[in-house]
Amino acid sequence: MRKILRLSIVLIVKNGATKRGDGKWVRTRIGEVRIRIDEKTKCLLGISFEGPVDPGAAEKEGGLEASLRGYRLPEARTDFAAEVLRAVAAIPPGRTISYGELAKRVGRPGAARAVGRVMAQNAFAPVIPCHRVVPASGECGNYRWGADRKAALLRLEQETGRDAWRIL
């Protein structure tokens, strides 16, 4: 039986957000965020970033969280992915862990690359905080939306001690 990933998320389109294409748009200091949802099932389909990281961007704190209110995450595709995503969600804000250490936490010590693939396929960053997983070297590493955005998310969490998606 497949284990369901359960995270409580909440997300509104704040004042000043625009609708373009399919999805809701929220402006944040780490770029514009597009939120794709299925209104019929109230299921979140994906989150993506566009535009440059702009620390001075005008935003209302919590705009992303407010925009997610009332939607749920879909099930993970495999039991392994569900285990990895649950383990990632348990990493405290502002902390990082290596791919290898995360693999050990889910009982698969030799599966660092498989963990990396799950992170690369995460369509729900920063709600599922794959930005907290880094190479064993401790460097920032790659990120679907750019290393500068990953570094900005980590810095924001380190400065505030809060989940980045709750304060963007």
Dump pLDDT digits (tens) for 50-106. Answer: 877 776 665 555 678 888 888 888 888 899 999 999 999 999 999 999 999 999 999
Does residue 130 have an active-site annotation? yes
Question: Is the pLDDT confidence value at 4 over 80?
Answer: no
Which is more confidently placed, 156 or 13? Answer: 156
Distances in Å between the alpha carbon of 22 and those of 37, 47, 88, 98, 149? 9, 11, 28, 34, 23
Query: CA-to-CA distance for 42 and 88, rounded, in angstroms?
Result: 23
Which of 111, 130, 154, 167 is flagged as catalytic? 130
Query: CA-to-CA distance for 2 and 81, rounded, in angstroms?
Result: 10
29-56 burial, b if ≥16 CB within 10 A, otherwise e? Answer: bbbbbbbebeeeeeebbebebeeebeee
Q: Which of 158, 106, 109 is nearest to 132 (CA)?
A: 158
pTM score: 0.79
Give CA angle at 150 (17, 121), nearest 5°: 85
Let me know: does 37 contact 23? Beta carbons within 8 Å: yes
Question: Is the pLDDT confidence value at 11 over 80?
Answer: no
Instruction: Report pLDDT digits (tens) over 128-160.
Output: 999 999 999 988 888 888 899 999 999 999 999
* pLDDT given at position 68: 85
- DSSP secondary-structure letter at 54? -
* pLDDT given at position 56: 63
> pLDDT band at residue 9, thresholds of 50, 70 and 90?
very low
